[in-house]
Amino acid sequence: MSPSDCPWRSRSARPVAICAIPHPRGYEVLSRLLTAGRRPRLHGQLVELSGARPGERVIDIGCGTGYLTRLMALVVRRE
């Protein structure tokens, strides 16, 4: 079964790139509002839950402003 065979995928659907918030500052403000100021704690929990260790590689797809990426870089850097 290929991804195009998935029942939820419309045969007429075409990939569309949507940029809901085109400006980094707008993204940052919206992110802070939606997380009610808990973003540092939430991202810290994500880093812990990832189980990443020094020397490993991680990828943050759709990284927004890169905040979580920077936290992960601190965790996986070689000592």
Is residue 15 situated within a structural domain? no
Is residue 33 situated within a structural domain? yes
Full residue range of the structural domain in which residue 69 is found = 21-76
CB 67 within 8 A of CB 39: yes
Condensed to tens digits (0 to 9), the pLDDT of residues 26-67 reads 777 887 888 887 888 888 899 999 999 999 998 888 777 788
pTM above 0.85, yes or no: no
Rg (Cα) of the chain, in Å, rounded?
17
Is residue 13 situated within a structural domain? no
Place of tokens 């812990």: 48
